[in-house]
Structure formats: structure tokens, C-alpha cells
Amino acid sequence: MGILYFWAEEPVQNNQRQDCCLIVKVDAPNGIDDQLVQLAAQEAIEGEFGKQLTLWAADEDEAVQYLETDPSPARDTLQLAAGVALFYHLARIV
């Protein structure tokens, strides 16, 4: 398994209508095309948030940096395919 990180190009709002940075983590099988994972993640996020968001590739350090700004980000999980989970975090922008 490889871990891929993405962040949304624009802020999204959480349930409290606060602007948040959307961070996506995907546990993808080794050897899978990263671009296909990115496209599948974008489609899943669009289905969850009801709007099209462009996701940009990030590394673990960038993702952790955003997540450290919010000690308790909203989180959830989506299934991209059998055995492929997408975890997303909404870190409030301060």
C-alpha cells in the first residue's frame, strides 16, 4: 500500500460554516497510477460536497502542516473502490 495526499485548491466549509482546508489521504495499492487515484478522489469529494473541487498532490509533510493548524479537524471516510479508502480532514483556516 502507498499513501497519497491531496489538498483542495479552494477552501470548503464545515458544518459550522467555517472555511477549511480539505486534506485527503488515500491508502492506494502499490503500482496504481497516482493520476487515476487523484481523479477518483476528486469524483468522490464532489459527490460528498456537491461541488467540483480540484485536488493537488501533496506530500505527508504538507498535509501534516495543515492539520496541525486545527487540533480537532472534522474527519470522515469514503470508499473509492473495494479495499481503497479515502480519508478526508477539514482543518479550519485561522
What residue type is assigned to position 83 of the chain?
G
What is the number of structural domains in the chain?
A: 1
Global model pTM greater than 0.75 = yes
Give 73's pLDDT tier (boundaries 50, 70, 90).
confident
Domain that holds residue 24: 2-92
Q: Give which of 8, 21, 32 is closest to 80, Cα–Cα.
A: 32
Alpha carbon distance, N-terminus to C-terminus of the chain: 33
Q: Which three cell numbers stand for residue 87?
A: 480519508
Q: What's the rounded Cα separation, in Å, for the pair 22 and 36?
A: 19
Per the document, the length of the chain is 94
pLDDT tens digits, 2-44? 889 999 999 999 889 999 999 999 988 888 888 988 999 999 9
Give 1's pLDDT tier (boundaries 50, 70, 90).
low
Tell which wins on pLDDT, 92 or 29.
Answer: 92
pLDDT tens digits, 49-69? 888 999 999 998 988 887 787
- How many alpha carbons lie under 13 Å from residue 86 in its C-beta half-sphere? 23
The per-residue pLDDT for 2 is: 84
What residue type is assigned to position 60 of the chain?
E
Return phi, psi of residue 21, to 5°. Answer: -90, 125
